[in-house]
Structure 1
Amino acid sequence: MRSPAELDRVQWHALTHAYGPAEDVPELISALYQDDEEAVDEAIYELYGNIHHQGSVYPASAPAVPFLAHAVRHARFKRAELLMLLAILADHDPEAVDPPHWQDTSVGAVCTALCQELPELLCCLDDTERGVRRAALRVVAAVAELLPEDRRAEVVARLDEIYANDPVPAVRADAVVVLARFGRGTAAADSPLPEVRLAAALLAVARSGPPYPADLVDVIAEDGAEPDPGDDEFPWSGATTQEDRLRHVLTEDPDAGLRVAARWIRRGDIGSRGSWLAEAIAESWRDREPAVLDLLLEALPHQTSSRTRAARLRTVGHWIERLPELGLAPGHGLRDTLHRYATDADEVTAGPALLALVNSRDPRALELVLRRPGPRLLEAAARHCPEGTDRLIPEIRRALAAGATGNDAIALVRALEPLGAGARVALPELVECLRTRRAAVVAARWLGAGGVATQETVDLVADATRSSDPALRAAAAVAHHRLTGDVGLCLRTFEEVLSGSGQTHWYLGALEPLGSAAAPLLPLVEPRLEARHEWTRLAAAEALYWITQSPDRVVPVLAELVGPTPVGLRALGALAATGRVPEGLRPTLRAYAFSPRRLIHDGPVSGQGHPDDELRTLARTLLGVGAGAE
């Protein structure tokens, strides 16, 4: 250990942390000894930002370790937090410990320094404060495999004592986890303490791998229904809490995970942990939506606040939209529950419930939407309530005319797309959107696609081609061509846009309606097939196919980009449009088509549909394409 009196013996100015020279570290370490708890808390916060920053450590981190260890023993406040800082500084991948390179890394130096200080910190395992004891166990765990043999026996003996006698069950459970890091088994599975049994079961299922033994799953279901109240304060390596570990392990075996989620929900869904587990399974595994929706329906009455109910309802709204694609329809019980919440006076709950009801295609939803026609609700109703076209269009027009801006205006314009020719009556509002630059890009696209050419609209889109926004210029140029049949202005606009710098793939994607009329732009399109940016290569390949209708140069570019990523998914869609499938791509397509896991992940409020569903559908479509192509 090193006291603050020795801080000036370290050449801090020659060391670096996340923000450059580490000259501020001595002042921050000295502040740890103040009698002002807020000042100590601020100093720890600053240390987390510089000697440890977003999972990284630096040359100044290891020299700070002996001073932090001294502060743990002698500072008045925040000793548990200081121990956790030491544990997190030493966090590392055990497989990376490979001399001689390990010692040359900043994290290797931190671990070496912490191993040297550990004997002076072991007394914290007997501290009167449970938080200090729990944090000290994380410090021991952080360097467990690095301790020399002569120290391991002492440490394990101390851990055995804690496991056997600590008065706090959560501390005993922590000791079980740390003993496992030393390869030491326990009889924890037979403990009378639920916390200890849960820790043992979690370690056992992680070792066994899926499918998990039923008896261990039962232990987790029974003993894990209530969260550890100190879990967030004491993460393990990788900054993961026990809650994180439980969710990760149980998500690896979806059948076991759903059984556990069901038990936790029936126990009251404490802390929404059963709901969160079910949601994680739906996001990780395909075709689990019906079972997850049943669980979320069961969980709704247990949500203790409007905010948590709204979170569950948003998830229901996301997954319920998927059921028709699985050949299923939402049950009457679920739709009746959504209807009840949608008519609730609590707006926090009613909004997500009504959106979910619309996504369920419930015929009662339209009347409720028309009573409170928000932009997102109108957009969803336009997709799922085609019988309401004549009633939805006036509401969309009214909202646009009232001056909607930003994402609201974009949603309203998009709401017109599924409504067909009848939506052309919205022309005056779309003209005004373009004139006032509200959702101007989507308004220009709609005006062009709508095919209603008036002198006003033609002049307006022509003016928009001179905008400072390249995306609007491109959309307006295409709209002008579609309204007038004149390709000259469109070509001139794209020549300027594509000759500039920036994200040109955004503008290449607008060329599809031009088809072969865009042939003069080929000298600007073809070189981008070899661009470094994958989105640019993709957009260039798409544009080349739209212009030439020849797949020869396009298919190799698209096939190379295919993957379970946003750009890879769009490449797959473009490949499907060409009608060619390289034989070498078929094993990959089979994996995409038949994987039980989701290969592209998506949050439950990200928008329409799920990208992984599109990936599977496209892969199956392409596997059905004839094998007559390379």
Structure 2
Amino acid sequence: MDLSRFLAEVDAHPWAGLTHAYGSAADVPDCLRRLAGDDDEAAAEALSDLYGSILHQGSVYEATAHAVPCLARIAGAGIRTADVLALLGGIAENGADDGDSDEAAARRAVTAELPLLLASVGAEDSGVRQAAAWAAAMTGATAEAYGVLRERFAVESDPQVLADLLCGLVHLDPAGTAALAAGAIGPDRPAEVRIAALLGCVDAGAEWGREHHDAMLALLPADDLVAGRMDLDRNEPLQYVVSSLLLRDTPADRDGAYELLGAALRGGRPGVLAEAVWAAESAVQVSRSARRRLADPLCDAVRRDPSVTGEVLPLLRLLGGHAAPAGAVLAELAARDDERADRALAALVDVDAARAVPLLARDLARRPQALDAACGGLLGSPRVPCDAALLTAVRARLADPGALSGQEPFRYAALLEAWGSRASCALPEVLGALGTFPQQMARAVAAVCDPADLAVAGGALRREARSGQREGRLGVARALYELTGDAGPLLTVLAEGLADGGAHRTREAASVAAGLGTHATGLLPALRAAVSDPAADRTVPDLDADVAVAEALWRIGGRAEEAVPLLRGALDETGLSWMRWTVARAARVAGLLAGEGRPLTDALRRLLPDPLQTPAAVLALRAVAPEVLDAAAVAGMLLDSVEQDADPFTALDALQELGPTAMTGGHRRRLTGLAERDVRVTSSSADTATAPADERFQTRAREVLRALREPDA
């Protein structure tokens, strides 16, 4: 390659008019120049920059396809060939087969370089062969690439290259490669090839049998065997195999997955347990039966060798009450005075809360993780009873507010709210901490206050609402209103929030004002003044605030003529993915307007094809313009939303709202399958919240099915 000529051609390309992950692609020529240069350190930085800009976190952009021919010329010239071919493979992997999108253009661009890729499959350097094989497979060009890769597989000797060749062949033709993969799992093959073959068997849909089970166990721990692979999607083999089998959702595949996991958990071999625990954690996210089926092997492992407990604590927490047989070991660890005690107690809260409460009460100040677990973590709610010893410990901590740290004030408030009047004896300590932690303690005051203490509690809240910390005044004023009905301080705080000018405070104040109804009539001028400028470049917080104001204008004064334009401003942002939740919220508010929201009909109908927005749009249209809905058609769209875990709970509400006449036999079978299958529907929640969320979904889905029984049933 004539480097000078190449660089001149690169510089002459109109990069500034193209875009990548960070905007203008004007910096791409400099990256290509450094990548093709003699300075290895500068080239490495350039490669990293290109991964960040034209292949950013697995996304390709307008400039990506334009960069591909330049990258191919660099690789073809023998300049950092393996690294550049790997980048081309990543671009192809994240492209698309059809259409006019950036993704389709990127894959077409790499496919156009197949002659280079296939020629490089036989290169002298093993790294080049490996990258070329993977990149060629990622183009999806089966007719052109499969035969070349198959021929190379027959003569290749390097285990890593063999593994990626096999992976590429399976990617191009799973069924056609099934026999080749099955024949490569035997002990006569290198371990790297055997693990690739097992993964290939799974991808090819092969029945998981005893030979697969035995080979997988013999290869564990397996993560290091794929560390050198180009295929990063399968870089945790045990987890990948288990999850893939569970997603097939057949009894035989479930049995195979859990037999494999059970053997790995019970085996006790060094290095295997960590991989087995991670695979089991993933199984809980996928399978409804996981917590029950994993309990015995995990508890067996803990009871046989308590020293492994620290490694399996996260999994024990996920199993919850199913792991109760391990409670005695956890209690012993939690009673110690070492760094594991808090983690063990947190697990015990999830596994056996009754056993955990006395230990938590005994050493509350030094058990932040256990306290967090007792309160349900980030997304949950308190899960421990109102125990006398624990309540005494909470009161003791609140009696010295200055000693509280971290999340303690939030956690104690959450416990007291959950316990309510059963914790009324804690009111003096809560009032004592109110001035220091008004946001947290205000709700606790309202929750624990007995009628006999109403005057004392109301007086304290009123003083704090008028002269306390600015950031806590809204919560305090709300608690005062809920406890006594005195709206004066709350209206004052809301007026200040609406006048503040910030989108966050506007949304917060408008949302609270909406709940006051006609009691907030005096805030209508402030609400109108808080609306964002439609001519400005509005952000998500601005539109969220406008939606909240629209709801307040409607709930307080029935101002549909003012609410409709605000809602339309949000509903028209359907093309921007980061606006989707804002649009869905606007649809929900539109539904409150009923017939007064008819001008929003067309905007709401445009939302129906988006699974995230389908449920809210259906509910809104049912209220605004029910005649425009094809009930049977939208029932199918709602089931699509459920299947994609887009907005499943709202979708169930919408299905029930449509009524039984909208449900065909096929619809009922689909919903029954979602309610009763083993694969979870709701699997996007964090940590320990996933299983409870999906269990709530199951319960709700069964309720809806009962409500939607055929009229003659």
Same fold, judged at TM 0.5 (above): yes
Conserved 8 A contact 2:20-2:64: yes
After TM superposition, the structure 1 = structure 2 runs for residues 405-554 of structure 1, keeping only pairs within 5 Å, are 407-436=407-436, 438=437, 440-451=438-449, 452-455=453-456, 457-461=458-462, 463-464=464-465, 475-487=475-487, 489-490=489-490, 523-524=554-555, 531=567, 532=571, 533-535=583-585
Match 1:64 to one of 56, 67, 70: 67
Q: Please state how far the C-alpha of 1:181 moved relative to its aligned partner.
A: 4.5
Aligned to 1:250: 245
Match 1:84 to one of 83, 86, 98: 86
Match 1:50 to one of 46, 49, 53: 53
**Residue type of the alignment partner of 2:205:** S
Question: What do residues 201-234 of structure 1 show as CA deviations (whole Å, max 9, x unaligned)?
Answer: 433443337xx34346436634553325263554
Conserved 8 A contact 2:265-2:273: no
C-alpha separation between the residues in 1 aligned to 2:407 and 2:77?
55
Aligned to 2:330: 338
Aligned to 2:286: 284
Distance of aligned partners of 1:120 and 1:287 in 2 relative to their CA distance in 1, 3 Å threshold = closer
**Residue type of the alignment partner of 1:206:** D
Distance of aligned partners of 1:522 and 1:441 in 2 relative to their CA distance in 1, 3 Å threshold = same
C-alpha separation between the residues in 2 aligned to 1:435 and 1:621?
45
* Unaligned segments of structure 2, at least 5 residues: 249-253, 376-381, 523-551, 572-582, 595-618, 625-633
Conserved 8 A contact 2:138-2:168: no
Question: What do residues 283-309 of structure 1 show as CA deviations (whole Å, max 9, x unaligned)?
Answer: 112233122233444566999999xx6
Distance of aligned partners of 1:201 and 1:555 in 2 relative to their CA distance in 1, 3 Å threshold = same
Q: Does 1:359 align with 2:441?
A: no
Aligned to 1:221: 216
Question: What do residues 260-284 of structure 1 show as CA deviations (whole Å, max 9, x unaligned)?
Answer: 2223334535372222222222211
Q: Please state how far the C-alpha of 1:85 moved relative to its aligned partner.
A: 0.7
Aligned to 1:550: none
Distance of aligned partners of 1:37 and 1:518 in 2 relative to their CA distance in 1, 3 Å threshold = same
Conserved 8 A contact 2:346-2:373: yes
Question: What do residues 553-576 of structure 1 show as CA deviations (whole Å, max 9, x unaligned)?
Answer: 999569999975696537869999
Match 2:30 to one of 24, 27, 48: 27
Aligned to 1:327: none
Q: What SS does structure 1 have at the residue aligned with 2:67? A: helix
Distance of aligned partners of 1:74 and 1:317 in 2 relative to their CA distance in 1, 3 Å threshold = same
Conserved 8 A contact 1:221-1:264: no
Conserved 8 A contact 1:251-1:277: no
Q: Does 1:610 align with 2:692?
A: yes
Distance of aligned partners of 1:344 and 1:461 in 2 relative to their CA distance in 1, 3 Å threshold = same
Normalization by structure 2: what TM-score?
Answer: 0.68
Q: Does 1:372 align with 2:373?
A: no
Aligned to 1:549: none
Aligned to 2:6: 6
> How many matched pairs?
588
Q: Which moved more, 1:491-500 or 1:168-177?
A: 491-500
Q: What SS does structure 2 have at the residue aligned with 1:208? A: coil
Q: Which moved more, 1:61-70 or 1:131-140?
A: 61-70
Distance of aligned partners of 1:109 and 1:569 in 2 relative to their CA distance in 1, 3 Å threshold = closer
Conserved 8 A contact 1:602-1:610: no
Name the structure, 1 or 2, with higher relative contact order (CA <8 Å, separation 6+).
Answer: 1
Q: Please state how far the C-alpha of 1:88 moved relative to its aligned partner.
A: 0.7
**Residue type of the alignment partner of 2:287:** W
After TM superposition, the structure 1 = structure 2 runs for residues 291-330 of structure 1, keeping only pairs within 5 Å, are 291-297=293-299, 312-321=312-321, 323=322, 330=323
Aligned to 2:141: 145
Q: Which moved more, 1:534-543 or 1:282-291?
A: 534-543
Q: Which moved more, 1:283-292 or 1:3-12?
A: 3-12
C-alpha separation between the residues in 2 aligned to 1:257 and 1:87?
31
Q: What SS does structure 2 have at the residue aligned with 1:60? A: helix
Conserved 8 A contact 2:498-2:506: yes
C-alpha separation between the residues in 1 aligned to 2:508 and 2:121?
58
Question: What do residues 361-391 of structure 1 show as CA deviations (whole Å, max 9, x unaligned)?
Answer: 3654334323431345346558555473234
Conserved 8 A contact 1:505-1:536: no
C-alpha separation between the residues in 2 aligned to 1:543 and 1:447?
35
Normalization by structure 1: what TM-score?
Answer: 0.76
Q: Which moved more, 1:582-591 or 1:13-22?
A: 582-591
Conserved 8 A contact 1:251-1:280: no
C-alpha separation between the residues in 1 aligned to 2:404 and 2:647?
31
Q: Please state how far the C-alpha of 1:139 moved relative to its aligned partner.
A: 1.1
Distance of aligned partners of 1:584 and 1:196 in 2 relative to their CA distance in 1, 3 Å threshold = farther
C-alpha separation between the residues in 2 aligned to 1:622 and 1:117?
54
Conserved 8 A contact 2:331-2:344: yes
C-alpha separation between the residues in 2 aligned to 1:138 and 1:304?
44
Identity %: 27
Conserved 8 A contact 1:380-1:415: no
Conserved 8 A contact 2:166-2:181: yes
After TM superposition, the structure 1 = structure 2 runs for residues 131-280 of structure 1, keeping only pairs within 5 Å, are 131-145=127-141, 149=144, 152=145, 156-157=147-148, 159-183=149-173, 185=177, 187-191=180-184, 192-193=188-189, 194-208=191-205, 212-215=207-210, 217-218=212-213, 221-222=216-217, 225-229=220-224, 231=226, 234-236=229-231, 241=235, 243=237, 245-253=240-248, 254-267=254-267, 268=269, 270=272, 272-280=274-282
Q: Please state how far the C-alpha of 1:320 moved relative to its aligned partner.
A: 0.9
Distance of aligned partners of 1:622 and 1:461 in 2 relative to their CA distance in 1, 3 Å threshold = farther
* Unaligned segments of structure 1, at least 5 residues: 324-329, 545-552
State the Cα RMSD in Å. 4.8
